[in-house]
Amino acid sequence: MEDRGQYATPVNERLYPNEHLITAFDKAEAMARLLDDLGYDIFWIAEHHFQREGYECIPNLLLFYVHLAHVTKRLRFGCGFNIAPMWHP
């Protein structure tokens, strides 16, 4: 965990390439499958846009949760928040 703690690269200096950022979807799916297998009830993620520093970078949770509901059996999903200006009416 080289990018954690007091001596880590400052957040505003971290710029991960798209190839790294796209792995967030596979990692979140693997985490959801594991939580479902372990008997957890709910999986929460916060919506984030344009965050190249590697924080949560899944911009459309509702659509992603449709996919996760298809690959899990019992897990429910929650949105930490939705950024209303980023959603076109």
- Please state whether the predicted TM-score (pTM) of the whole model is above 0.75: no
Give alpha helix (H) positions in the chain.
18-21, 23-37, 61-71
Helix, coil or strand: residue 42? strand
Indicate whether 2 belongs to any domain. no
**What is the reported pLDDT for 77?**
94
**What is the reported pLDDT for 43?**
94
Intervals of the chain under pLDDT 50: none
Indicate whether 3 belongs to any domain. no
Calpha distance 52→64 (Å, rounded): 19
Select from 23, 24, 30 the least CA-distant residue to 71.
30
Indicate whether 4 belongs to any domain. no
Calpha distance 26→28 (Å, rounded): 5
Total domains present in the chain: 1
Indicate whether 8 belongs to any domain. no
**Which domain does 32 fall in, by range?**
16-86
